[in-house]
Structures are given as structure tokens and as C-alpha cells.
Amino acid sequence: MQSNPEEGSARSRPAAMTDSRREQLSLWTNEVLGRLLPEIRESIDLEIVSGDASFRRYFRARFGEQSYIAVDAPPENEDSRKFVSICNLLRNAGVTAPKVYSADYEQGFLLLVDFGDVLYLDELLKAQQENRLQDADRLYHQAIAALIDLQANVSKETLDPYDRDELHREMALFEEWFCAELLQMQLDAEARQLIAKTLHYLEDQALGQPQVAVHRDFHSRNLMILEPGSFGDGAGPGVIDFQDAVAGAYTYDLVSLLRDFYIRWPAEQGDKWALGYLERAIARGIIDQIEPKQFLKDFDLMGLQRQLKVMGIFSRLGIRDNKPRYLADIPLVIRYFLEVSQRYRPLDPFVAWFKQDVLPIAKTKLNLD
């Protein structure tokens, strides 16, 4: 079981606190497993699986051939009720989200089904390196099918709106953390006004799109390869890290998947997969008939919003949260942003400023080509 960094904002925790919570989680997990599996006669140790960019941590509890994921989600920092609620929405929609065996909301502990450790990213990188496009095509086909089920079967009314305030808050991280903190730029009033105008334009574009249920981090590190038959025939990918789901633009999750910050495909291939989504989304009644040209514009502009926010988020993770590995992913984010933004005339002033003022500093700081 893995998790995604993009929405996290946690600082490092004191070791004593971490150890104390692990001991409490171990006691709770053994108590729960004792009820689920009466044949257990001895205490089961927890193995660390992963932490993420929030306060959540994941552990594995094994008993024979069976294994479970125990989650430490401190209640003062994490909303486990929301996690479980959205998990149930996804499962009822036919999406393969993890089953929740038990939840202690007061302590912030969860016991989940174990999806294993094989990420979509692992298999996609292998397929790419070995030139097995048919395998990548199959995986993306399955991921898009899961996305279609999510959009068709989860009511947007059950989720918080991805409104202008939230879109702006996220994109503002570009100015605060990427420009000011990472690149140490001193932005004048003209630059700040240009940034504000650009963010407003992208907010308008996102809010003008059909609104659906949005996972919010639907990409190769949050999709799991499952053992065949383990979770039902044709289960598709295991979907994780969904607790930030909202009601937002129909292209948001698709661009997360196909303009992934951890693996890159030729633009023509990505557009082909995207148009495959379009055909299926229209057929399922998720959106009305729309011309491919307009759809690809929606897809592009939603991607730009996400790319600006992620430049900020990855900078924050690297600087504030002492996770410098995320800085290594920023160059691909910038590459996507520049390739796409140059297609749209309203963004010309911002792109010119970015190339003239931002890019030279970024090249030095991030070892960009």
C-alpha cells in the first residue's frame, strides 16, 4: 500500500510521538485481528509499509497467507471519517477501493484490506522500457474504466466543491513556494498582477467545465496492480489515496493519469488515450456530446492548473518538509507546462515572463536541461 504526496502538508514528527502511536496501533490491531481471526494465538508484529506527505503511516500485519494494512492517522491531523465515507462511496460505485475492516476514529486507527505493493507506475515503467505498448494500453484502459465508474456512479452532490477559492489556494502555492521560496525570486507588483490574472483565467476554465466526482490524485502512484482474482473478476486497479475527493472538472483526474509527473508518454499517445475516455464518457452519459477539439482544450487547461499547483507543492515538500526527492520531479512538471501553455494565446504574457524570468533560475536550481 502506497500513498501520494501531492496534497500533504505535514512536518516531521518527534520520534517519541511516532513510537508511542506505533505501539498503540499495534495493540489495537492485534485486538481487532483477534476478533476477525480467532485462531490467532500470539501477537502479530507490524511492518512499516510507507508514510506519505501527510501524517498518515501504513503498516502491514501478516498472519499466514493473510495480510492487512493498519493505518495510523492522528485524529488531530487526519479525518478518518471522511476517508471511510469516500471509500464506501467508491466501493458502492464499483471502484476497487480497499475494504475497511475496522475503524477507531477517536484514536485515528484503521484496518484495511491489503492491496500489495505493486504500483501501476512499476508496471508502466517496465512496459515503457521494454517497448510493450500493448501492456501499457491495457493498464490505461483499465484505469480509465475505473475512472468512468467513479464519475458515473458517485454523485457530485456528496462531495465538497472544487470551487474558485480552492482552485486559487492551490495555484497560489506556485507563487509562494516555487517562485519565492525555492527560486528566491523577488516578485514585483507587475509580476504578481500577471500571476493573479493567469490564475483567474485558469480558474474560469476549470469552473466552466462539466462538474463530476473527482478523485483528485488519480495517477500511477495511487493505482495498484492486484493479484488476479483476489478482489473479484475484472476488478481493475486498486484505487487508493482518495480522501481528498471533490466535485470538480471532468478532465481533472484524466489529466492526472495521462500527464503523470512520474512517467511521460509521447503527447500523441496520451491524446489517443484521452480521446478513448471521451468516447466512453459520452456513451455513459457523464458528459454531453462535445467536439474533440474542445475536449482537448479542456484537458490541456485543466492540466496547466494542476501543473502550477504541483510546482508549489513539490517545492514545499522539498523545503519545508525536508523531502528533497520531490524536487527531482519538478522538471517534468515544467516541461508539461511549457509544452501546453504555449498553445493558448491568453497565456502568452505569462509564458513569456516564465521563460524570461523564471526558467533561467529554475535551470540553475533544478539542473534543468
pLDDT surpassing 90 at residue 3: no
Cβ(159)–Cβ(246) below 8 Å:
yes
pLDDT band at 234 (very low <50, low <70, confident <90, very high): low
CATH 3.30.200.20 domain extents, the chain: 15-113
Q: What string of DSSP letters covers 115-153?
A: --S-BHHHHHHHHHHTT-HHHHHHHHHHHHHHHHHHHHH
Ranges in the chain annotated CATH 3.90.1200.10: 120-366
Residue 4 has pLDDT above 80, yes or no: no
CATH of domain 15-113: 3.30.200.20
pLDDT of residue 8: 46
pLDDT, one tens digit per residue, over 130-170 is: 999 999 999 999 999 999 999 999 999 999 999 999 999 99
Residue 144: name the closest of 252, 257, 20, 9 by CA.
257
Architecture in CATH of 120-366: Alpha-Beta Complex (3.90)
- C-alpha grid cell, residue 198: 493567469
Write down the pLDDT at residue 50: 74
132 C-beta neighbours (distance < 10 Å), count: 14
